[in-house]
Chains A and B, each alone.
Chain A
Amino acid sequence: MIEKQETIIIKTDELLVKTAEMKDKGCRLVQIGCTKTGENVYELNYTFDENYNFYNYRIIVESSNPVPSIQNLYAGAFIYENEIAELFDIVVNDMLVDFNGKLYKTSLENPFK
């Protein structure tokens, strides 16, 4: 095995607390990814790394339920949050940098929804 990877499922309202813990630990944000798992149900993976140690937190959301933005902790998260908002139609609240649907030019709206 290349590296041990554990995914911890958390609630949406725990996301900011866990992200702040990762920030305090000195972790960098690796990625935020979205997977459709059912009709209007999505998994969001928030992956962090600290000195090659892998951390992955997962929240499960319905498309109508908003997710808080982590941009105030990780400014670079704007690229991921706007991507998942535009491709999957996930509502991300309080984004500091919000492209309002204009980051990704696609011929279909929310093509991965």
Chain B
Amino acid sequence: MAKKTVIPFGPQHPVLPEPIHLDLVLEDEKVVQAIPSIGFIHRGLEKLVEVRDYKQYTYVVERVCGICSYMHGMGYCQAIEEIMKVEVPKRALYIRTIGAEFSRIHSHLLWLGLLADAFGFESLFMHTWKVREKILDLMEEATGGRVIFSACLVGGVRKDWDEALLKKAIDLLKEIEPETKELASVFINDVTVRHRLVGVGVLTKEEAYTLGAVGPMLRASGVSEDLRKLGYAAYGELDFEPITETAGDSYARCVVRINEIFQSMDLIKQAIAKIPEGEISVAVKGNPDGEFFSRLEQPRGEVIYYVKANGTKFLDRVRVRTPTFTNVPPLVKILEGCDLADVPILVLTIDPCISCTER
């Protein structure tokens, strides 16, 4: 009988952008079990709702995570707006959509760069993040921030995207689209990249569904589910379909994310073509009383913002169920039976955002 060894993976590891710990139970070089433990960057942000009023709390939720900041703010504001029946101006909904899709592009480019770095493909990592930098520059001009955008507020958005900025956004897409296509062709076609990803970490459609996978993790296994189809923000007026693959392996997850980058570019162009004139926010008076589950499609998958309010300025509860949190069970599943050398890649393919997971 093979001898079992337990190797700790994390919380510090070259491939991990944030700390997560996995105890890997090995038989020779095969992982037979992976036992996660989290909490290294648990900040108790959900508890903070007891001492921050609901408008101040927008600043807290934006800081749950730096990569997903835009949509954290958006999801929370959406929940409060649904409870208070606030009619958000249409222009604000379009601006939120444009910001969210740029956020998705920069997040997926970040992930692609980290994936290249995990292979040791340093030049590909640098080129990918170079493209990402251009998006962050635009977001800085639009919102004032490169990482924490503080773009959304209850009732709309803080800053308008004027004609000049929208044109700049279109010009930026024209610039980065061919650059991204060139990078994408390396990820998709390079024999060394394919060797590391094809057939590695297969998650079947059934497993993805019952284990609670979301986002590209779910869609790469053939489940066509994308919460943008609910039609929140301006998505109800844009034309798109969920991007899916069927193989369920790491390569499929990579291809889904790459294709979503181009889909996001198209959605931004559609939104800019359709964005109406008008106000960017409405004044919100009073306090929320009620509850709502705000569901959004973040780059990593479905995020839930459950907000329960009691009519005072302090909320009873904000529960943030982030996509990486729900992708932990599928991660544990795909690690079973894999080679030790594949563990870093498999951990990366769920696109882990540990700040989001632990809050």
Contacts and interface: CB of A to CB of B under 8 A. Distances in A.
Interface of A: 1-3, 5, 7, 28-31, 33-37, 45, 47, 52, 54, 56, 74-79, 99, 102-106, 111-112
Contact of B212 (A29, A102, A103): A29
A76 B82 contact: no
A72 B201 CA distance: 23
25 contacts: A2-B295, A5-B292, A7-B291, A28-B210, A30-B295, A31-B306, A33-B306, A35-B306, A35-B308, A35-B319, A37-B316, A52-B225, A52-B229, A54-B295, A74-B212, A76-B211, A76-B212, A76-B213, A76-B326, A76-B330, A77-B212, A79-B212, A79-B329, A103-B38, A105-B37
Contacts of A99: 35, 37
Nearest to B46: A112
Nearest to B229: A52
A37 to B, nearest CB: 7
B211 A103 contact: no
A113 B7 CA distance: 33
Contacts of A105: 37-40, 42
Contacts of B76: none
- Most chain B beta carbons < 10 A, residue from A2, A28, A78, A79: A2
A26 B152 CA distance: 35
B51 interface: no
Given A35-B316, A47-B304, A75 B42 contact: no
A30 B304 contact: yes
Contact of A106 (B39, B46, B209): B39
Interface in B70-110: 78, 82
A52 B37 CA distance: 31
Given A78-B329, A105-B38, A2 B78 contact: yes
Contacts of B284: none
Nearest to A108: B44
Interface string B193-232: 0000000000000000111110000000000010101111
Contacts of A5: 292-293
Interface of B is mostly: mixed
Nearest to B227: A52
B interface bracket (residues with beta carbon within 8 Å of A): 35 or more
Contacts of B337: none
Interface string B283-302: 00000000111110000001
Interface in B252-305: 291-295, 302, 304
B159 interface: no
B230 A52 contact: yes
A55 B326 CA distance: 18
Contact of A28 (B212, B294, B304, B358): B212
Contacts of B319: 31, 33-35
